[in-house]
């Protein structure tokens, strides 16, 4: 989830449970919370008065003049408080050494981390990490999908809204999208922490968490995920997740007219040819498609035509 979007919703006290978990994992948000919590302290009523000053003030100024002076100072002090808070928020977001990298629709991007570890982001994905503290704590937050090639060293943590993936030096893929989470280990060993449970993911193993349920299976892994070679592949994945991934690689909206909401899909599609990709996801499920507009496609059962 986007950091700015979560911060705005937190200030409006409008976060869902899932969004609150994602917000709590954003680097630097503890300081942000403290700044906002301290804001009420910037009030005229909290300023103390020195007794000697009160005595001199009574002699030099009539009561009504002091009242006018105080009334004039009150809004000025409030304005000063606003500037102090604004400066604190500005400092938090622009000078806390937090690095945020995002990809857009149909974009893939490889990033080299400070320790020479590599992260390749799939389309519509995001990572955030602290460059200043990286040498002492290799930790980042992921929203979306990424393939990691981790240099050997201290523990390397990938935080998500679902759970935490920890490794030392290995190659693995993490998918974290809307009620669906998957870890696929390609080399070494991965530890997945989910709630109070912990799972070891070995090469060739895939762990999935869908709607809170954990499952695992063995797969024949290649050297890297297929999406890195412009092919998305799925095995027993809810069909709505397939459609969401399809939309991330093609700038098009897909509407579905299906009776079976629990439909699962095994197969894949390429990222370079829209028509071939549509046929690849529709034919195995006896579906067809129609172009509603150049930017919108409708899927439905063949027998419903």
Residue 73 belongs to domain spanning: 29-94
Which of 76, 94, 112 is the endpoint of a domain? Answer: 94
- For residues 133 and 114, give the distance between their C-alpha atoms in angstroms, rounded to a whole number: 10
Residues 6 or more apart whose CB falls under 8 angstroms from that of 105 comprise: 123, 124, 247, 248, 249, 250, 251
**Does 7 map to a domain?**
no
Identify the H or E element spanning 210: strand 205-210
Among residues 116, 178, 114, 181, the alpha carbon closest in space to that of 146 is found at 181
**Does 70 map to a domain?**
yes
The DSSP secondary structure of 66-108, one letter per residue, reads HHHHHHHHHHHHHHHHHHHHHHHHHHHHHSS-EEEEE--TT--
What does DSSP assign to residue 284?
G
Among residues 251, 250, 6, the alpha carbon closest in space to that of 128 is found at 6
**Residue 178 maps to which CATH number?**
2.60.120.1440
164 close to 141: Cβ distance less than 8 angstroms:
no
| Tokens at 152, concatenated | 């050997």
Q: Are both 278 and 175 inside the same structural domain?
A: no
Q: Are both 110 and 210 inside the same structural domain?
A: yes
Residues 6 or more apart whose CB falls under 8 angstroms from that of 234 comprise: 241, 242, 245, 265, 266, 267, 268
Q: Crossing angle, helix 29-38 and helix 3-11, to 10 degrees?
A: 30
Averages of pLDDT over runs of 10 residues in the chain (305 residues) are 63 69 66 52 42 49 51 55 55 67 96 96 97 95 97 95 93 92 93 91 91 85 87 89 93 82 89 94 92 90 65
**Does 257 map to a domain?**
yes
Main-chain phi, psi angles of 111, to 5 degrees? -125, 135
Q: Are both 124 and 182 inside the same structural domain?
A: yes
Q: Which residue has the tokens 């690689």?
A: 249
- For residues 252 and 277, give the distance between their C-alpha atoms in angstroms, rounded to a whole number: 12
| Tokens at 225, concatenated | 């995920």
Alpha-helical segments (H) within the chain: 3-11, 17-24, 29-38, 51-60, 63-94, 239-249, 274-282
150 close to 156: Cβ distance less than 8 angstroms:
yes
Which of 50, 76, 94 is the endpoint of a domain? Answer: 94
Q: Is 102 exposed, middle or buried (0-12, 13-18, 19+ CB in 10 A)?
A: middle
**Does 24 map to a domain?**
no
Q: Which residue has the tokens 């922490």?
A: 193
Prediction pTM value? 0.67
**Residue 276 maps to which CATH number?**
3.55.50.30
Domain count, the chain: 3
CA distances from 90 to 30, 135, 207, 253 (A): 15, 25, 40, 37
**Does 225 map to a domain?**
no
**Does 14 map to a domain?**
no
């Amino acid at each position: 989830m986007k950091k700015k979007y979560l911060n705005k919703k937190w200030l409006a006290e409008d976060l869902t449970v899932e969004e609150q978990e994602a917000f709590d994992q954003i680097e630097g948000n503890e300081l942000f919370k403290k700044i906002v919590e301290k804001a009420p302290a910037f009030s005229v009523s909290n300023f103390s008065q020195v007794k000697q000053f009160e005595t001199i003030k009574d002699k030099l100024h009539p009561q009504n003049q002091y009242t006018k002076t105080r009334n004039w100072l009150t809004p000025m002090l409030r304005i000063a408080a606003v500037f102090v808070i604004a400066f604190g928020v500005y400092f938090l977001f622009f000078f806390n050494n937090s690095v945020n990298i995002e990809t857009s629709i149909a974009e893939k991007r490889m990033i080299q981390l400070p320790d020479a570890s590599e992260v390749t982001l799939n389309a519509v994905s995001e990572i955030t990490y602290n460059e200043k503290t990286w040498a002492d704590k290799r930790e980042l937050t992921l929203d979306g999908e990424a393939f990691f090639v981790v240099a050997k060293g201290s523990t390397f943590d990938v935080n998500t809204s679902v759970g935490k993936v920890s490794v030392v030096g290995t190659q693995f893929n993490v998918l974290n999208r809307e009620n669906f989470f998957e870890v696929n280990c390609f080399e070494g060993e991965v530890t997945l922490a989910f709630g109070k449970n912990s799972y070891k993911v070995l090469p060739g193993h895939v762990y999935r968490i869908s709607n809170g349920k954990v499952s695992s299976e063995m797969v024949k892994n290649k050297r890297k995920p297929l999406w890195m070679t412009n092919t998305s592949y799925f095995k027993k994945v809810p069909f709505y997740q397939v459609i969401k991934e399809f939309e991330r690689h093609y700038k098009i909206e897909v509407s579905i007219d299906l009776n079976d909401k629990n439909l699962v899909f095994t197969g894949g599609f390429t990222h370079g040819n829209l028509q071939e990709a549509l046929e690849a996801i529709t034919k195995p499920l006896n579906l067809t498609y129609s172009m509603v507009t150049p930017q919108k496609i409708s899927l439905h059962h063949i027998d419903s035509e």
